[in-house]
Amino acid sequence: MRQIYSILVNNHPGVLSHVAGLFTRRGYNIESIAAGPTEDSEVTRISIVAFGEPHELEQIAKQLRKLYDVRDVQQVPYNRSVTRELLLATILAGPEKRGEVFQLATAFGANVVSISDESVTLEASGNDQKIRTLLKSFERYGIAQVARTGMIALPYTGMPSDWEPLA
């Protein structure tokens, strides 16, 4: 099972070590981690995607809440949250393939950010299904390099409790 943790922490050096160290020390499986500023300059939001058995995912939340610098832990159910990830990918495509690549990129709402004689570099954002589908679609051209930010998430707001979003 996968779980997204949206964690608000005190913004000071060392806090990421404390959070990341917890995962290594207790043997929790981490898929991605992303950290960045929030609306409050003293607070950083860390988004972590972890997977494990349900009781283990509950333990992770409890252990995170024990950390001194952690102000809040939201366990964001995958289907009740907005999740986004930013992708940069360099696709191997010379001048003769560029048209196809551009077309495909448009279909995914991806932007072209750099072009060389051998390649096209794309930028795309979306939930991880979209990012994975996109990468799969470009596989046949050859993908030279990929950089992903890891997922960030916020729970949907203002929705009825029985509402089942699609993405």
Partner 1 sequence: MEMTGAQIAIEELKAGGVEIAFGIPGGAIMPFYDDLLKANFKHILTRHEQGAAHMADGYARVSGKVAVVVATSGPGATNLITGLLTAQMDSVPLIAVTGQVATPMIGTDAFQEADIYGCSIPVTKYNWLVKDARQIQGVIREAIRVATTGRPGPVLVDIPKDIQTARTDYNPQAPAKGALPAVRQMPEADAKAIEKLMEALEQAERPVILAGAGIIKAGAAAELARFARHAKIPVINTLLGMGGFPGTDPLFLGMPGMHGTAYANFALCECDLLISLGARFDDRVTGKVSSFCPKAVIAHVDIDDAEIGKRVKTHIPVLGNVREVLHTLNRQVKPTERRAWLDQVEAWKRDYPLQYGWDGSIKPQYVIEQIQEITGGEGIYATGVGQHQMWAAQFLRFNEPRAFISSGGLGTMGYGLPASIGAKFGRPDKEVWLIDGDGSFAMTLVELATASMYNVPIRVAILNNAFLGMVRQWQELFFGKRYSHSHYPTNPDFAKIAEGYGVKGFSVRDVDQVRSVLEQAAEHDGPVVMDFHVNPEENVWPMVPAGAGNDEMQLAPPSPEDA
> In the window 64-83, what residues touch partner 1 (CB under 8 A)?
65-66, 68-69, 71
Residue 138, number of CB atoms within 10 A of its CB:
22
Minimum CB distance to partner 1, residue 5 (Å): 14
Minimum CB distance to partner 1, residue 112 (Å): 40
17 forms part of the interface with partner 1 (CB under 8 A): yes
Tokens of 110: 């991806």
**Which amino acid makes up residue 163?**
W
Residue 24, number of CB atoms within 10 A of its CB:
9
Q: 128 near 151, Cβ under 8 Å?
A: yes
- Choose among 54, 47, 36, 41: nearest CA to 72: 47
List all residues 6 or more positions away from 110 whose beta carbon is below 8 Å from its beta carbon: 87, 122, 123, 124, 134
**Residue among 29 and 145 whose Cβ is closer to partner 1:** 29
54 forms part of the interface with partner 1 (CB under 8 A): no
**Residue among 21 and 94 whose Cβ is closer to partner 1:** 21
40 forms part of the interface with partner 1 (CB under 8 A): no
> In the window 80-119, what residues touch partner 1 (CB under 8 A)?
none
Interacting residues toward partner 1 by CB under 8 A: 10, 12, 14, 17-18, 21, 25, 55, 58-59, 62-63, 65-66, 68-69, 71
